[in-house]
């Protein structure tokens, strides 16, 4: 008999690797934060005993969801400036609000709000881009969630840094502080081609090559961005990034609603990653990412929510459903992005984009025990013929009951174990009152 820390029995275990497989009445054995074995529940008693045994008789157990693009602290701006096009939203509402309110306390409280929401929706890892990434890292560590914090870069000053040199200096210092963390990694996060000039981008490319860390950037988000780049630089943003040496396997290009066939082929050839944010793109009327064409070309497409100021939630289950349905509509093909592919976009593909596919993104012995349990007994998910389809097409985040990160149970029967939900709500309401009073 081998001793395990935790054994989780589920009606279905959906490992993602291999694809389109749901294991009936299986269990996951966990020790020291890692998955040791996935085996039939009937075989567990003969092989293992555990400190804790969790029975989920009507649940699908899936890899924890990976939110590959968000701005966590912007949850405090949720609903502040809705129903506006991107540049109006940014220039006239969000950037002025950030200039007035963003500081360490804002980022800390906003990130706590976001992390609580994400955990309750089954997200176990998020890729962030925002100011004061040191505060984001502290919140992630305290909550126990996995995170990749963006080393933000802009040409213009902010509350975090006054120049590109200071952004880079602070980012590299934070990267050094976090390099031994088991939960928090880093990525360079130049905001967008239209807010970061060639010099800083060349330095980011040099350090990305040297340190082997990803580059996380908004690219080809709107037609206006592309048109403006043609006027300013004479080339489309992707071509400019390619000329600077940034278009490659470490690039996570977010949004990508404006793509030509040749650009898709180049992305595939150079192994760049695309992060699709369907609901934010729809809300801001930014356009449609050609997900089906990218997938057919062999491009890794991950999934993100964007920030709650432009979505307005951080619900990855909802994002999966939107991604699958939108891909079918755009491609005019019902087989585009089937349910198992949408689930992979929200799990393994996100892990791959972050360079974490050997640690998370699927349920496989040796990987870290990042898992989410979805209760499919709800009337809206009945009857269950295919649990993968039900998770993607019918399940709501209210059906997520339990979440583990590194084997630690952060959500237990819908209750957060490391965060004070009531206190977080009170702080969010206090920020609303301050911001609204101006």
Range 166-172, long-range pairs (CB < 8 A, 24+ positions): 167/200, 168/200, 168/203, 168/204, 168/207, 171/133, 172/207
The owner of tokens 């929401």 is 117
> Is 202 marked as a binding-site residue?
no
Write the CB contacts of 264 (distance below 8 Å, at least 6 apart in sequence). 290, 293, 294, 297, 299
Write the CB contacts of 103 (distance below 8 Å, at least 6 apart in sequence). 132, 159
Q: Which two tokens stand for residue 292?
A: 């089906």
CB 252 within 8 A of CB 219: no
Rounded distance between C-alpha atoms, residue 326 and residue 331, angstroms? 8
Rounded distance between C-alpha atoms, residue 45 and residue 116, angstroms? 35
CA nearest neighbour of 201 among 161, 156, 246: 246
Write the CB contacts of 277 (distance below 8 Å, at least 6 apart in sequence). 69, 254, 255, 303, 304, 305, 306, 311, 319
Rounded distance between C-alpha atoms, residue 425 and residue 130, angstroms? 21
> Is 166 marked as a binding-site residue?
no
Rounded distance between C-alpha atoms, residue 28 and residue 12, angstroms? 11
> Is 216 marked as a binding-site residue?
no
> Is 83 marked as a binding-site residue?
no
> Is 306 marked as a binding-site residue?
yes
> Is 69 marked as a binding-site residue?
yes
Rounded distance between C-alpha atoms, residue 59 and residue 14, angstroms? 10
CB 125 within 8 A of CB 147: yes
> Is 218 marked as a binding-site residue?
yes
Show binding-site residues.
69, 71, 98, 191, 218, 221, 306
Show binding-site residues for Zn(2+).
69, 71, 218, 306
Show binding-site residues for substrate.
98, 191, 221, 306
């Amino acid at each position: 008999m081998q001793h395990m820390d935790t054994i989780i029995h589920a009606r279905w275990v959906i490992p993602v690797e291999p694809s389109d497989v749901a294991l009936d009445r299986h269990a996951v054995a966990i020790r020291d934060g890692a998955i040791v074995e996935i085996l039939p529940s009937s075989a567990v008693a003969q092989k293992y005993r555990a400190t804790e045994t969790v029975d989920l008789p009507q649940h699908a157990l899936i890899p924890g969801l990976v939110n590959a693009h968000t701005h966590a602290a912007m949850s405090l701006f949720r609903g502040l400036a809705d129903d506006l096009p991107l540049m109006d939203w940014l220039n006239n509402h969000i950037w002025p609000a950030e200039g007035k309110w963003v500081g360490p306390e804002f980022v800390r409280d906003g990130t706590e709000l976001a992390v609580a929401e994400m955990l309750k929706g089954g997200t176990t890892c998020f890729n962030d881009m925002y100011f004061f990434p040191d505060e984001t890292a502290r919140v992630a560590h305290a909550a126990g969630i996995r995170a990749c914090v963006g080393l933000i870069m802009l040409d213009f000053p902010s509350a975090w840094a006054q120049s590109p040199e200071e952004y880079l200096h602070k980012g590299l210092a934070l990267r050094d502080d976090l390099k031994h963390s088991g939960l928090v990694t880093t990525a360079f996060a130049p905001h967008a081609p239209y807010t970061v000039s060639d010099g800083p981008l060349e330095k980011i490319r040099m350090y990305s090559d040297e340190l082997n860390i990803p580059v996380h950037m908004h690219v080809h988000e709107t037609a206006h961005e592309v048109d403006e780049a043609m006027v300013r630089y004479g080339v489309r943003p992707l071509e400019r990034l390619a000329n600077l040496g940034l278009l490659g396997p470490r690039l996570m290009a977010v949004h990508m609603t404006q793509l030509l066939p040749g650009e898709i082929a180049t992305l595939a050839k150079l192994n760049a990653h695309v992060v699709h944010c369907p609901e934010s793109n729809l809300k801001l009327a930014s356009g449609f990412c050609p997900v089906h064409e990218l997938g057919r070309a062999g491009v890794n497409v991950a999934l993100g929510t964007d920030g709650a100021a432009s979505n307005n939630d951080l619900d990855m289950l909802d994002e999966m459903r939107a991604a699958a349905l939108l891909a079918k509509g755009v491609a005019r093909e019902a087989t585009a992005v089937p349910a198992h592919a949408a689930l992979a976009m929200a799990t393994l593909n996100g892990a791959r984009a972050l360079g974490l596919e050997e640690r998370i993104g699927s349920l496989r012995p040796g990987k870290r025990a990042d898992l989410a349990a979805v209760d499919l007994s709800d009337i809206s998910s009945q009857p269950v013929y295919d649990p993968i389809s039900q998770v993607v097409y019918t399940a709501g985040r209210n059906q997520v009951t339990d979440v583990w990160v590194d084997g630690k149970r952060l959500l237990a029967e819908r209750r957060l174990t490391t965060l004070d939900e009531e206190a977080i709500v009170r702080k969010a309401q206090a920020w609303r009152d301050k911001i609204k009073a101006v």
